[in-house]
Amino acid sequence: MGLRGYLARRVVYSIILILAVITVNFLIFSMLPGDPMAQFVAGMRGHIDEERYAQLRKHFGLDRPLHERYLSTLGNMLIFNFGNDIISGEPVFDAMRTPMLNTILLMGSAEIISITLGILIGVIAAYKRGGILDTTLVTSSLVTYSVPIFFVGWIVILVFAVQLHWFPSGLTSPPGWVRNPPVNVLEYIVGRLRYIVLPAFTLFLFTVGGWILFTRACILETINEDYVLTARAKGLKERTVLYKHVLKNASLPIITNVALAAAFLISGAIITETLFSYNGMGLLTWHAIYPTPNLPILQAVFYLTALLVIIANFIADLLYGVIDPRVRYG
Amino acid sequence: MATRKARTAFAIKRFKKLVKEISQSKRGTLGVTIIAFFVLLAIFAPVIAPYDPINPWKDPGQYPAYDSPPGPKLAEKLCVPSWYEYIPWVHKGSIELKESFISYVVVIDGQKFPNVTNLYLTQRIAKAQKIEAFFPNGSSRELVPVEEWMHNPADLRRVTLDWQTAENLPDSTRVEVTYLTGTDITKTMEVVTDYKFSSSETFYSKWQNKTSHPELFNIKHNSQEGFESGGCIEITYSGSEYNASASEVNTTVFVPFGYAHWAPPKSFATHFSARIETTTKTNVTVTLWLRDEALGKSFLLSTYPITSKGTYFHYKAVSTGNETKGNIGEYPERIIFPRPANMSFALSVNFPNKENDVTVYIDNVQCILYGNSFGLLGTDNGSPFPPRDIFSTLVYGTRVSLVVGILSALFSTVIGLFLGLISGYVGGTVDETVMRFADLLLVLPTLPLFIVLIAVMKSTYGLVSMWNIIILLTFFGWMGFSRTVRSMVLSIRERPFIEAAKAAGGGKFYIITKHMIPNVFPLVYVTLATSVPGAIVTEASLSWLGLGDPSIPSWGKVLYDFNVSGIAVTKGLIEYWFWIFPPCLAIAILATAFILLGFALDEILNPRLRQRR
């Protein structure tokens, strides 16, 4: 079939998947028992006059039959028209802009450090397999991997914010900035960084164990292969063998996971951001659920995350061929 | 064809080998030990936990005046662990303090205003020592405060001097107050040991009485009568023999006790049930008292007139009650119990109708002093329920975590295995459908989706049960394993022995059950062990966000209670460490144990990871 055929099939799959995601999104918000959308509007009854109530129902399309609502949702999603934020009234994209940038900053820095260090340490652990270093690394990764993130967060806050007073224990930027915003760029960067360090460190601690274990497992799959023995027999340096021969061959699943992590990045880290009151996508999502349901935001978050994951999967599949020429499409 | 017996023997042998291999791996042994520990904890929770975390009340049913909730609360809120009293650096006992005030008199319109009439000390007064005045000429004299100063109702730090004395002190006289203040770890104390009056010996050895007319009263223990017929105090008053001499007729039954702490209790609660029997229209008045024997001072808690006869009426007085506060002061417990003292708890019966015969039955008499320490790990802030014993909650929480973790791992692994086998072996449209569905579930952000779904359930059904969470975790947990199984099945399908089985006439069902499952089964163990922690942590996270089952005690819910209590902001994490760190640690340790076991199993069962020896 070749590359072109494979590509076409993947594109078709992805489109079907996107349609399915939109359908699920519609189902969750419109057809589940209790229908959050209808409940929200029903909750307004009594607080506002009948005219406004009818207007709201019309606004959310609750007066139309289900199939019409489905079709309009489908159309709106495809052109990224998520409607307006219920609370502030501004378009969903405007409401999401700042949190999304904040989240990408936070999760991006945490993920990059965690992936880089995780892969490096994972390779070392796999290489020293069975030794004390490996045992220690694996056990501590297993521990950090399974400890709930709010526990990690609490300890980080306790040590670095409460005891040592090095970093603030929460919020996104200094509270004084609301009145007098920073004048120069350096002050801005330093101020923001001070508030990012602790949540990023928490996320790093929480995720790095997973990356170490995953890389180690992938490396162990290939380290006993014959070509590794050949490479060693050729007299290549151990580091060259590890990073050029073993890691490169073991990297396919790692790449998929990196792509997925990058895609899930925009849905934010609900618990970390709630714990640190960090104004990111996670906090936005949480506040869109609790205390006031803000359904357009939720729909947008779900849809965008799913879309990005689908795209990331697609890209990862394509990258396979670039990295490993043995992969045949078809 | 192997017989059933032979097959069983083989299975047992294989299982034994697995156990042996796990026991050889340090991580596996550690994991299994921890899991076993938690399983035992979960099974024997009712035996291990000293209190019921769902109904944290004292002896429901025995204190009928506390009709709702049943019985007085178990403990005060925000208690520290009771073993704090053994910590050497926690101060227990009295501290002697001296504070000086320089007197002067302000004259306004010919009227004198001395400044030392009200002396505000820096600490709570547990016991007064003395007040001395050092005059400018070098002499000194002891002063007497207006009233018993440590029991000043208005302010527990105030000493009031007589206006006349203060006015006559020359300017620049130094008034020195010597007093004791104290801190202590106080314990919850039940003053009456046998409050159901089931034993007459206990009654006669503990209880004393004092009456205005000893010849008219007969006070004894009655083992037949009483609320729920368990025994009671019987007070018989022969009013017909009354000869109009005394002004008041009353009797007091009291139980002496020692209060041992240098700090007041956090609160107290009293209770009694009473019934009167009389042939004429008569009423009696019952009053509850606490008496400081050293000072000779009695504190009236509450007064109850009993007018109707025949049935038991139930009465209570608590330190937070308005009547008690009105009688004593804003913090009755601090005023009554400032220091160690011999106290007594008294119940006084007044007979206004002096000429009538009355028999009074009194039962369920109790006075509970709530201390600031409780149990192994203290108590929570008790909102909206009464304060709960944190240790008991933790022990019961093991059940929730284990059940949610193991069941959802089991269900999702079984579903994953089934769908993986089907889609891998059958292929075609079935395969496509299952795998695309798995893809669809995989691209959705899990935690936000859980939160939305649970929030919807909560608003629809009013509550979220543990089973909803298990179902959700199952529904979103099978995809990874079914993919792995499918890929394994795809490679096994091409192996010669499957072809042989097909050639021999084996059907799809036969091949799947007899050849596929045994080949992928080692992976089931690994997946089971490694998917439990995810479920446990997700359940805890949901509860942490307040989306768990509110009616069952789970570890995450303890943390949620801590979160909403605001203690983290007002008091900090350190002071109430026993509230959050034990549940966090429990979650972490249990999750890690399963991961360790899974990792050990992976190394044993995964042939590629098996080390060459």
**Domain ends where: A78, A111, A145?**
A78
Put simply, the answer to whether A32 touches B448 (Cβ < 8 Å) is no
Instruction: For residue range B183-212, list pLDDT tens digits in order.
Output: 888 888 888 888 888 888 888 888 888 888
Please report, as a single letter, which amino acid is at residue A202.
T
Asked if the structure places residue A83 within a domain, the reply is no
ipTM of the complex in this document: 0.85
Residue in the structure block whose two tokens are 């849905």: A267
Among chain A residues, the shortest Cα distance to B451 is held by A289
| pLDDT at residue A38, as a whole number | 67
Q: Per-residue pLDDT tens for A63-112?
A: 777 788 888 888 888 888 887 777 777 888 888 888 999 999 999 999 99
CA-to-CA dists, residue B440 to A73, A306, B418, B435, B451, angstroms: 18, 8, 18, 9, 18
CB contact under 8 A, B459 and A17: no
- Distance of alpha carbon A177 from alpha carbon A186, whole angstroms: 14
User: Which CA distances in Å does A43 have to A40, A293, B451, B494, B521?
Assistant: 5, 11, 20, 59, 51
Task: Name which residue leads in pLDDT, B228 or A168.
Answer: A168
* Ramachandran quadrant class, B251 (left: phi over 0; alpha: psi -120 to 50; beta: rest): beta
Handedness of CA B467, B472, B473, B477 (dihedral sign): positive
Note the pLDDT of residue B246: 62
Q: Under an 8 A CB cutoff, do B459 and A33 touch?
A: no
Residue B413 clears pLDDT 90, i.e. is over it: yes
**Closest among B591, B588, B560, B552 to B406, alpha carbons compared:** B591
Contact B584 A151 (CB under 8 A): yes
Q: Are residues A163 and A227 in the same domain?
A: yes
Confidence of residue A204 (pLDDT cuts 50, 70, 90): very high
Closest-approach residue (CA) in chain B for A271: B541
In a domain, A235, yes or no: yes
* B455·A290 Cβ contact <8 A: yes
Instruction: Please report, as a single letter, which amino acid is at residue B356.
Output: N
Helix (H) or strand (E) holding B608: none
Q: What is the mean pLDDT of residues B59-78?
A: 76
pLDDT computed for residue A316 by the predictor: 83
Q: Which residue of A has its CA nearest to B563?
A: A275
- pLDDT of B50 higher than 80: yes
Q: How far apart are the first and last CA of chain A?
A: 5
Q: Which segment of A188-192, B157-161, B498-502 scores lowest on mean pLDDT?
A: B157-161
> At a CB cut-off of 8 Å and minimum separation 6, what does B293 contact?
B256, B341, B342, B343, B344
Phi, psi of B80 (to 5 degrees): -90, 165
- Look at strands B174-183 and B93-102 and give their pairing: antiparallel
pLDDT of residue B232: 87
The answer to whether residue A289 neighbours chain B at the CB level (below 8 Å) is yes
Clarify whether residues A57 and A193 are in a common domain: no
- List all residues of chain A from 121 to 140 with a beta carbon under 8 Å from chain B: 129-130, 138-139
Of the candidates A143, A286, A305, the beta carbon closest to that of B445 is on A305
A306 in contact with chain B, both atoms CB, cutoff 8 A: yes
pLDDT (0 to 100) of residue B27: 84
Q: Tell me: do A70 and A191 sit in the same domain.
A: no
Q: Is the pLDDT of residue B151 over 70?
A: no
Of A23, A44, A78, the domain-final residue: A78
Residue A85 falls within a domain, yes or no? no
- Long-range CB pairs of A287-294 (<8 Å, 24+ gap) are A289/B448, A289/B451, A289/B452, A289/B455, A290/B451, A290/B455, A290/B545, A290/B546, A292/A86, A292/A87, A293/A36, A293/A39, A293/A40, A293/A86, A293/B455, A294/A85, A294/A86, A294/A87
Those of residues 41-60 in A touching chain B at CB distance below 8 A are none
More confident residue, B17 or B411: B411
- Locate B409 and state its tokens: 């791992």
List CB contacts (< 8 A) between A103 and chain B.
Answer: none
**What rounded mean pLDDT belongs to chain A?**
83
The token duo for B151 is 């029991």
- Within an 8 Å CB–CB cutoff, is residue B613 touching chain A? no
* pLDDT given for residue A44 in this prediction: 64
User: Is the CB of residue B471 less than 8 Å away from at least one CB of chain A?
Assistant: no
Give A12-71 pLDDT, tens digit per residue.
Answer: 888 988 998 888 888 877 766 556 666 666 666 666 677 777 777 777 667 777 788 888
B449 contacts chain A (CB < 8 A): yes
Q: Is the pLDDT of residue B530 over 80?
A: yes
Tell whether A248 and A124 lie within a shared domain.
yes
Which of B451, B595, B612 has its CB closest to that of A289? B451
Number of H helices, E strands in chain B: 18, 19
Residues A272 and A186 in one domain: yes
pLDDT reading at B474 higher than 90: yes
Residue B95 confidence (pLDDT) above 90: no
User: Residue B491 corresponds to which amino acid?
Assistant: S
The answer to whether B455 contacts A39, with C-beta atoms less than 8 Å apart, is: no
Q: How many angstroms separate the CA of residue A81 from the nearest CA in chain B?
A: 19
d(CA B284, CA B559): 51
Inside any domain, residue A226:
yes
Q: Mind listing the pLDDT tens digit for each residue in B382-403?
A: 777 788 889 999 999 999 899 9
Is A89 within the bounds of a domain? Answer: no
If one compares B224 and B257, the residue with the highest pLDDT of the two is B257
A73 and A110 inside one domain: no
Say if the Cβ atoms of A154 and B573 lie within 8 Å. Answer: yes
Which pLDDT score, from 0 to 100, does residue B135 have?
87
Nearest by Cα to B173 from B210, B140, B205, B221 = B140
Tell me the angle at which helices A295-323 and A2-30 cross, rounded to the nearest 10 degrees.
160
Confidence of residue B405 (pLDDT cuts 50, 70, 90): very high
Residues A67 and A122 occupy one common structural domain = no
Residue A143 within any structural domain of the chain: yes
pTM score of the predicted model: 0.85
Predicted confidence (pLDDT) per residue in B6-45, tens digit: 888 888 888 888 888 888 888 889 999 999 999 999 999 8
Residue B441 confidence (pLDDT) above 80 = yes
Q: Are A68 and A142 members of one domain? A: no
Q: What average pLDDT score do residues A222-242 get?
A: 86
Cα distances from B470 to residues B407, B465, B548, in angstroms, run 7, 9, 11
Among the candidates A78, A105, A129, a domain finishes at: A78
At B612, the pLDDT band (50, 70, 90 cuts) reads very low
- A84: in domain: no
Q: Are B20 and B604 in contact (CB under 8 A)?
A: no
Smallest Cβ–Cβ distance between B540 and the set A148, A162, A310 belongs to: A148
pLDDT value of position B608 = 60
Residue with tokens 């405060």: B145
Compute φ and ψ for B143, nearest 5 degrees: -105, 155
What band does B168 get if pLDDT is binned at 50, 70 and 90?
Answer: confident
Residue B613 binned pLDDT confidence (cut-offs 50, 70, 90): very low
The position carrying tokens 């320089």 is: B102
Same domain, A53 and A106: no
Q: What local confidence, expressed as pLDDT, does residue B346 receive? A: 92
Shared-domain flag, residues A46 and A175? no
Does A138 have pLDDT greater than 80? yes
> Based on the domain organization, do A18 and A62 belong to the same domain?
yes
CA atoms within 13 A on the CB side of B604: 24
The number of residues in chain B equals 613
Count how many domains chain A has. 2
- The CATH number for A301's domain is 1.10.3720.10
Closest residue on chain A to B574 (Cα): A158
pLDDT of residue B244: 65
How high is the pLDDT of residue B411? 95
Kindly tell me the sign of the dihedral angle through the C-alpha atoms of B517, B519, B525, B527.
negative
Average pLDDT over every residue of A224-250: 86
Q: Which helix (H) or strand (E) holds B386?
A: none
Which range marks the domain in which residue A47 is found?
2-78
- Shared domain check, A170 and A251: yes
What's the CA gap between B82 and B244, in Å, rounded?
55
Query: What is the arithmetic mean of pLDDT over B425-430?
Result: 86
Residue A194 lies in a domain: yes
Q: Kindly state the average pLDDT of the residues B287-314.
A: 86
- Mean pLDDT for chain B overall: 85
Greater pLDDT, A200 or A86: A200
Residues of chain B contacting residue A152, judged by C-beta atoms under 8 Å apart = none
Q: Is A148 on the interface with B (CB under 8 A)?
A: yes
**Residue in chain B nearest A37 by alpha carbon:** B456
Closest-CA distance, B92 to chain A, in angstroms, reads 27
pLDDT digit string, tens, across residues B323-356: 888 888 888 888 888 888 899 999 999 888 878 8
* A311-315, B61-65, B326-330: the lowest-pLDDT one: B61-65
Closest CA to A320 of A248, A265, A264, A262: A248
Q: What is the pLDDT of residues B270-279, one digit of tens each?
A: 988 888 888 8
Would you report the helix, strand and coil content of chain A in percent, each value rounded to 5? 75, 0, 20
